[in-house]
Chains A and B, each alone.
Chain A
Amino acid sequence: MTKKILMVAEEMDRTISRIAYEVAEHLKGLDDVVIVGVQRRGVSLAKRLQKSFRDMDGVEVPMGELDITLYRDDLTLLQDQPLVRSTSVPVNITGKRILLVDDVIFTGRTVRAALDALMDLGRPSLVQLAVLVDRNNRELPIHPDYVGLKISTDKSDVVEVRVKEWDGDDQVILWEDGGER
C-alpha cells in the first residue's frame, strides 16, 4: 500500500479555475450552458465550477445534480446496491449545452450511465465532460473534454478525490497496490 498525494487544496482550486477558463474559451461563451454534476463528488466540483464562472464572467450558469444509480449496468454484480440519490436539474435541458462534471473517469461506465440518465431528462444540443482526474483504464470508448490531471494507474489502484463538503478536506490521493487503506 503506497499513498501518493496527487493534488492538495490549492492545486484543486487552481485546476478548477483553469478548467472553467478552458470551457468558456472552447464553448465561445457560456450561453445556454447548464452544469450537471454527477452525484456525489461531481456535484461538489460542479458547484465550484459554477462559482468560477461567476467570478470569471459574473455569469450565473444553471446547475443540476444527476444520480446515475438507476442507470448502472453492474447492479446485478454488486453485493450491496447503491442507494438512489436525488436527481434535480432545475431547467429544461432540451437544446441546452451540458457540461457534465465528475470527479474521476476510470472505466467510462459511470459516464455512460450519466449520459443515459441525462437523455431521459431531455435532448441537449451538446454534452461535454469535465473531470478532475482521468486515470485511464477505459472499458468503453468515452473520453473527457476537459481534464484536471491525467495519470496512468493500475486497475487495482484507487484514486480518492476528497472534498470538504463530504470528507472534511480537499485533496486527491492515489492508493497503489490494491488500494488498501
Chain B
Amino acid sequence: MPWKRKHLIDVDDWEREDFELLLEQTSNMDSILDRSIKKAPALRGKIVVNIFYEPSTRTRTSFEIAGKLLSADVINWTASGSSAAKGESLRDTIWTLEAMGADAVVIRHGEVGVPYYLAEKLKKASVINGGDGTHAHPTQALLDLYTAWRELGSLDGKKVAIVGDILHSRVARSDIYAFKAVGAEVCLSGPSTLMPTDINSLNATYEPNIAEAIDGADVVYMLRIQRERQDAGLFPSLDEYHKRYGLTDKLLGKAKKGALVMHPGPINRGVEIASSVADGPQSFILKQVRAGVAVRMALLYLMLGGVKE
C-alpha cells in the first residue's frame, strides 16, 4: 500500500492498514538505531523545521534526532527565543517558512487546530502535529502503539488500561484511537473530575476503580498529572491522588503477569507512578523514548521521500 498522506494532524482518520504500514516501517528504522553508524542519506537536502510554542524537550529532540539520522537539515524554533515572542503572527510565520523552503514543519501549540491551520495555508511543506492543546498528539500515540506492538506482537484482543487525567490529555485521545484501530480493548480509569463528559464517544470503557481497570491488562498506561489540576480543585492533593490512583508494585500485580508499564513522560515520581515501578523490570518508559525516534524517522521518510501530488 503506497503512502499518500501529506500531513499528520491526527490519527483519527487512519485505517488499520495505515497503522500496520507505519509499524512495519518503524521496525525497519529501529534497526538503524542499533548500528554503529546511525545515519542514512534518504532525506539529504530536505529541511525540517521544529516550531514549539510549548516547551517539550523530549518530543522536539526526538524529531531533531530522527531528521538528522536521515540526513535532513533540522532547524528548531522555540517560542521563547523566536519572533513569536516578539509578536509575529502565525500567518507571518507561515510566509517565513514558505520563503525558507521548509519541506516539513513539526508544530506544537497550546491551541487546538493550529497544525490544521498550518497545513491549510502552507503550499509546499508537510505538517506534523507535535501536540495541539488537548486535541491530539499523534506521534506519541504511534510510538506508544509501536512499543506495545513490538513487545506483544498482535494487539488483537489485548487490554490496554489508560489511567489518569483523560480530560486534559491529548495523548489519551490519540492513544485510544490508535489502540482500538488495531484491535485492542481500552479501559480508562481516574477520578471522575478528570474524565471528559463525552466519555462515551471515546469508544472506551470507564472504570473508576483503578484495580478493576488494570485487572488482567496487558498494558498499563499512566498519564502525567499536571500540578495545576490540583490547584484547580480537580482532586484534593497529590498524596491523595497517589493513594487512589498511583501505580505501585502491589497494584501492578493486578495486571497480567509481565504487563507493560508505559508513560508519555516526564514522570512525576510518587504521584501517578511509584519510583520502584518506573524503574522496575516492567517499565517500558525508556523503550518508548527510543521508539519515538524510530517512529518519527518512519514518518519523516514516508512524508518527505518521493514526490507528493
Binding site for B on A (CB under 8 A): 67, 69-72, 75-81, 83-88, 116-117, 120-122
* In contact, B301 and A120 (Cβ under 8 angstroms): no
* In contact, A75 and B35 (Cβ under 8 angstroms): no
The residue on B at minimum CB distance from A87 is B31
* In contact, B28 and A75 (Cβ under 8 angstroms): no
Supply 14 A–B pairs (Cβ within 8 Å), ascending by A: A70-B32, A70-B41, A76-B305, A76-B306, A76-B307, A78-B307, A79-B306, A80-B3, A80-B306, A81-B301, A84-B25, A88-B31, A117-B40, A122-B36
CA distance A72 to B306 in the complex (A): 11
Q: Kindly list chain A residues whose C-beta atoms are within 8 Å of the C-beta of B35.
A: 120-121
Q: Kindly list chain A residues whose C-beta atoms are within 8 Å of the C-beta of B306.
A: 75-76, 78-81
Which residues between 208 and 261 of chain B lie within 8 Å of chain A, taking CB atoms? none
CB contact between B70 and one of A70, A78, A79, A121 (< 8 Å): that residue: A70
Q: What are the 4 tightest A-B residue pairs by CB atom distance, in nearest-first order?
A: A81-B306, A81-B305, A70-B40, A70-B42
**Besides the known contacts A70-B301, A75-B306, A86-B28, 13 further A-B residue pairs in the complex with CB atoms under 8 A apart:** A67-B28, A71-B41, A78-B307, A79-B306, A81-B3, A83-B21, A83-B25, A88-B31, A116-B41, A117-B40, A120-B35, A121-B35, A121-B37
If the complex has contacts A78-B306, A80-B2, A120-B35, are A85 and B28 also in contact, measured as CB distance less than 8 A?
yes
Q: Kindly list chain A residues whose C-beta atoms are within 8 Å of the C-beta of B41.
A: 70-71, 116
* In contact, A75 and B31 (Cβ under 8 angstroms): no
Q: Kindly list chain A residues whose C-beta atoms are within 8 Å of the C-beta of B37.
A: 120-121
Q: Kindly list chain A residues whose C-beta atoms are within 8 Å of the C-beta of B167.
A: none
Chain B 268-291, CB within 8 Å of chain A: the 1/0 string? 000000000000000000000000
Q: Assess whether B27 is interfacial by the CB under 8 Å rule.
A: yes
Q: Assess whether B39 is interfacial by the CB under 8 Å rule.
A: yes
Q: Kindly list chain B residues whose C-beta atoms are within 8 Å of the C-beta of A121.
A: 35, 37
Which residues between 84 and 119 of chain B lie within 8 Å of chain A, taking CB atoms? none
- What is the CB-to-nearest-CB distance from A96 to chain B, in angstroms, rounded to a whole number? 15
Q: Kindly list chain B residues whose C-beta atoms are within 8 Å of the C-beta of A76.
A: 45, 305-307
Q: Kindly list chain B residues whose C-beta atoms are within 8 Å of the C-beta of A72.
A: 42
The residue on A at minimum CB distance from B103 is A76
CB contact between A84 and one of B28, B39, B45, B309 (< 8 Å): that residue: B28
Q: Kindly list chain A residues whose C-beta atoms are within 8 Å of the C-beta of B307.
A: 76-79
- What is the CB-to-nearest-CB distance from B90 to chain A, in angstroms, rounded to a whole number? 29
The residue on B at minimum CB distance from A85 is B28
CA distance A120 to B34 in the complex (A): 12
Chain B 1-40, CB within 8 Å of chain A: the 1/0 string? 0110000000000000000010011011101100111011
Q: Kindly list chain A residues whose C-beta atoms are within 8 Å of the C-beta of B25.
A: 83-84
- What is the CB-to-nearest-CB distance from A64 to chain B, in angstroms, rounded to a whole number? 12
CA distance A81 to B300 in the complex (A): 12
The residue on A at minimum CB distance from B28 is A84
CA distance A117 to B32 in the complex (A): 11
CA distance A159 to B28 in the complex (A): 28
CA distance A117 to B42 in the complex (A): 11
CB contact between A86 and one of B27, B42, B301 (< 8 Å): that residue: B27
Q: Assess whether B79 is interfacial by the CB under 8 Å rule.
A: no
